[in-house]
Amino acid sequence: MHVGAGLHFPARSRGRSENVAGRGGRGGKRDRDRDTAMDGGEGRPQPHLAALVLARGGSKGIPLKNIKLLAGVPLIGWVLRAAIDAGVFHSIWVSTDHDEIEKVAKQFGAQVHRRSPEVSQDSSTSLEAITEFLNHHHEVDIVGNIQATSPCLHPSDLIKVADMIQKEGFDSVFSVVRRHQFRWSEVKKGENKMTEPQNLNPAKRYRRQDWPGELYENGSFYFAKRHLIEKGYLQGGKMAYYEMRAEHSVDIDIDIDWPIAEQRVLSFGYFGKEPLKEVKLLVCSIDGCLTNGRIYVTEDHKEMVSYDYRDIVGIDLLKKRGIQVRLISDRDCSKTLSAMQLGCVAKVSVTNKLQILKDWQEDMGLSWKEVAYLGNEESDVECLKQAGMSAVPADACAAAQKAAGYICKSRGGCGAVREFAEHIFLLLEKVNSARKQLEEISSAGKEMGRNENRRKGNKELMEKE
């Protein structure tokens, strides 16, 4: 990753950890919006802070890496979601030279700066692309350069860094991660010398718990003020680092990282403002999701459709996990459903899918966060938007893909239902893990309270004696 030539490291620099006392405890309910970001206190407007994601189309390692699906979401979508929900940016931009990346960026609510060919080369640096952006957007005072390849970024990180820039007066802030790795000098082939330790004494090796480790840039973001960038720096002036949690520090550079990153995102990624809840109802559109959408007509005018046995297994697995599965269709396919013998509640010949979905949700006494929806057509769009968890097959129409939270790798009628079921199960593990952590914290808090009460009781007895 290019940070730009001539990095300036003055003596006056400070660090920030995600869990610094007095900062980490501010969280609570911190739901800012863009109007709040405009308020600098006492009626003073804040300097214009723009989020900027650089997403060139000509990635050498992975073709169109920036919009490749990661856990069902285009890679760039993860950081755009975090930036939008942070609510601290006056504008959010994607700088790209590619039409498809522009399309995805706009779907996620970002504005697009079309970068020139001169700063879209393999040799172009991030600093050059950011400088070009500033030359076209004179209203911007501070740039938060967010890397598209950091899908575990959370809004809370961006909120804290925005405070460091806007309220504490730093000129630049960049992200780091703490690592516990011993470094040795490199010995090139043919050199007549031995390797030397760089950050340890081999005779007195640290235990991990006794060594604080070292801070490394992780590339998630670089915030800098305009005057600094115009001098040719992304890091300089009154400078600070921001330490991210290790589990949130993911940088995808090569294809082999992809499956690892998907598991990390499912465990530690940011899925939106609302907390995840257990799904209790999955509604699936029949034509184009459960089937491939094709209808075969015999000579005696009978209709036939095909389906994938994997999807039937997926439905069975959902039922075994206590998740109801209901089916919905625009057309009358009751005979087909009867032949498939799925044992699911179904509604056919539907003219308003959203109304049926609302009726089912209310009848079951569920919140929308407990409802999942799999659709593929324009008639499914409002349902996809309303459901707490939504997905579409890989061949769904563009409007449905835009509305969905997850895009399957499988096509309709070719395993999409099973794939979405697996995705739901993974997210349920995340919900259960979070619940378990809260229970452990609560239990620890109660135990501390009991110990404190016992201590006070013992103290009172001693005083009486």
| Cα(418)–Cα(133) distance, integer angstroms | 43
Torsion of CA 229, 82, 27, 250, to 10 degrees: -80
Distance of CA 441 to CAs 80, 330, 437, Å?
31, 48, 6
Tokens of 93: 């931009």
DSSP helix/strand/coil, 71: coil
Q: Position of tokens 């995102």?
A: 265
The DSSP H or E segment spanning 215 is: strand 214-225
Report yes or no: 286 and 315 within 8 Å, Cβ to Cβ: no
- Taking the C-alpha atoms of residue 288 and residue 375, their distance in angstroms, rounded to an integer, is 8
Q: Are 137 and 113 in contact (CB under 8 A)?
A: yes
Alpha-helical regions (H) of 269-328: 309-320
Q: How far apart are CA 255 and CA 459, in angstroms?
A: 62
Crossing angle between the packed helical segments 155-166 and 75-86, to the nearest 10 degrees: 50
**Residues present in the chain in total:** 465
Q: What single letter denotes the amino acid at residue 340? A: M
Spot the catalytic one: 12, 30, 179, 205.
Answer: 205
Q: Cα dist. 287→306, 348, 379, 460 in Å?
A: 10, 11, 12, 73
Phi, psi of 414 (to 5 degrees): -130, 35
Q: What does the block give as tokens for 128? A: 């050059």
Q: Which two tokens stand for residue 213?
A: 């480790």
CA 439, 440, 441, 442 torsion-angle sign:
positive
What is the signed CA dihedral for 396, 371, 416, 384, rounded to 10 degrees?
A: 10
Is 205 catalytic? The answer is yes
Contacts of 456 (CB under 8 A, 6+ apart): none
Q: What is the dihedral of CA 424, 385, 388, 425, to 10 degrees?
A: 0
Catalytically active residues are: 205
